[in-house]
Structure 1
Amino acid sequence: METLIGEFITLCMMAFALGMDAFSVGLGMGLIRLRFKQIFYIGLTIGLFHIFMPLFGLWLGRFLSQQFGAIASYIGGLLLLILGGQMIVSSFKKDDEPFISPLGIGLLFFALSVSLDSFSVGLSLGIYGARTVLTIMLFGLFSMMLTWTGLLLGRRFQQWLGVYSEVLGGSILFAFGMKLLCPF
C-alpha cells in the first residue's frame, strides 16, 4: 500500500511539473481578451493533449525520444515565438486579425506546443497497465486545471493592465519560445 501511495505522489508531482508549462503559457495567453467558453475549450484541449501525447510517446518508444525530442522543442519554440510576436504586433494594430489564435487550428498548435514535454516524458516512462492509465489521466487533469488557472489569472491581469496586457502576454509567450529554442 505504501508503494502505491508513494507512486501516486510521485506521479502527481510529475503531472504538476508538466502542467506548469501549460500554466505559464496559459497565463500569457489569458492576457488576450478571451471569453469563458474559449478558456474552457483551451483548458480541455490542452488536458486532452497531455493525455494523448505521453500515451503516443509510450507507444513510440525510447529510441525516437532522442531524435524527435530536439526537433519537437524547436517546433514548439518557433510556434510560441510566432504567437508571442503576433500578440505584440497586434497590440499596436487593433484592426488586424491574429495570425494564430487560440481557436480552431491555432488552438491545436497551441496545445501541441505546450504538451511536447509530456510526449518526451511518455517516451521515457516505459510503464504499462493500470499505472499508464493513472499517469496519463493525472497528466491530463493537472495540465487542464493549471491551464484554466493560468488563463483565468491572465484574464484578471488583462483587466488591470488594459492595453499593455497583450504586449505582456506576447512577451511571456515569446520568452517561452526562446527558452525552448535556446535552452542554456
Structure 2
Amino acid sequence: MEQLTSLILLSIALGLDAFSVSLGMGLQAVRLKHAFVAGIVIGVFHIFMPGLGILLGKWLSVSASEWATLAGGVMLFGLGAYAVFASFTEKHSFSYRMTGVGIWLFALSVSIDSFPVGFSIGLREAEVWIYVLSFGVFSMVLTWAGFIIGRRAGGLLGTYSELLGGSILCALGLSAIF
C-alpha cells in the first residue's frame, strides 16, 4: 500500500509541471483539438523519459553499492527543491505553438525532469511498466485538466501547482534518504 501511495504521489508530482504549463496556455484559448493532442504527446513523453532513466538506473544499480538508494533520494530531493524555488521566481513566458515542432518542444520541456526521477526509481527494485504507465496517464490527464481549467480560470493555480509538485518530490526524496 505504501508503494502504491508513493507511485500515485510521484505520478501527480511529475504531472503537475505539465498541468501548470498547460493551465497558462489554456488562458490563451488553445483549441480543444490541439489540447487533446498535446495531452497524448505529453503522456507519451512522460512514459519515454522516465523509462530511459529507469533503464539507466537499473543498469547502474547492478554495479552500484548501497549508496545508490541515497543517490536516488538526493536526486529526487534536489529536483523537488529546484521546482519549489523556481515557483517563487519570475516567469518569462515562452510562447509555444500547439502544432508541428511546437508541440514536441512543449512535451519535452515538461517531461525532461522525469528522466532523473526515472533514474532514481531504476536504482531501486521497481516494476518499470507500472511506473512509466502511471506517469504517462497522470501527465496526460493533468495536461488536459490544465488546458480546460486554464480556459475558465485565472493564472493563480499555476504557481501553486508547481510548488506542490516540488514539495512532493522533496518529501519522496527525503523518504528515500532516511
For the aligned pair, the TM-score class normalised by the smaller chain equals 0.5 to 0.7
Deviation at 1:60, TM superposition (A): 3.1
Aligned to 1:107: 103
Q: Percent identity?
A: 43
**Is 1:53 matched up with 2:49?**
yes
Deviation at 1:31, TM superposition (A): 1.2
| 1:122 pairs with one of 118, 122, 125 | 118
Amino acid at match of 1:47: G
Aligned to 1:24: 20
TM-score of the pair, normalised by structure 1: 0.62
Deviation at 1:129, TM superposition (A): 8.4
In structure 2, distance between residues paired with 1:109 and 1:85:
11
Q: Compared with structure 1, are the counterparts of its residues 59 and 32 closer, same or farther at alpha carbon in structure 2 (3 Å cutoff)?
A: same
Equivalent pair of 2:46/2:139 in contact (CA under 8 Å): yes
Amino acid at match of 2:136: G
The runs of at least 4 aligned residues of structure 1 exceeding 2 Å deviation read 59-63, 127-130
TM-score of the pair, normalised by structure 2: 0.64
Deviation at 1:104, TM superposition (A): 1.3
* Count of residue correspondences: 134
In structure 2, distance between residues paired with 1:54 and 1:32:
29
Amino acid at match of 2:115: F
Q: How does 1:88-167 map to 2 (within 5 A)?
A: 100-126=96-122, 131-157=127-153
| 1:10 pairs with one of 6, 10, 14 | 6
Q: Give secondary structure in 1 for the equivalent of 2:113.
A: helix
Deviation at 1:127, TM superposition (A): 5.9
Over the aligned positions, Cα root-mean-square deviation in angstroms equals 3.2
CA-to-aligned-CA distance 1:85-105 (integer Å, 9 cap, x gap) = 44xxxxxxxxxxxxx412111
Amino acid at match of 1:43: G
Amino acid at match of 1:131: E
Q: How does 1:80-91 map to 2 (within 5 A)?
A: 81=92, 84-86=93-95
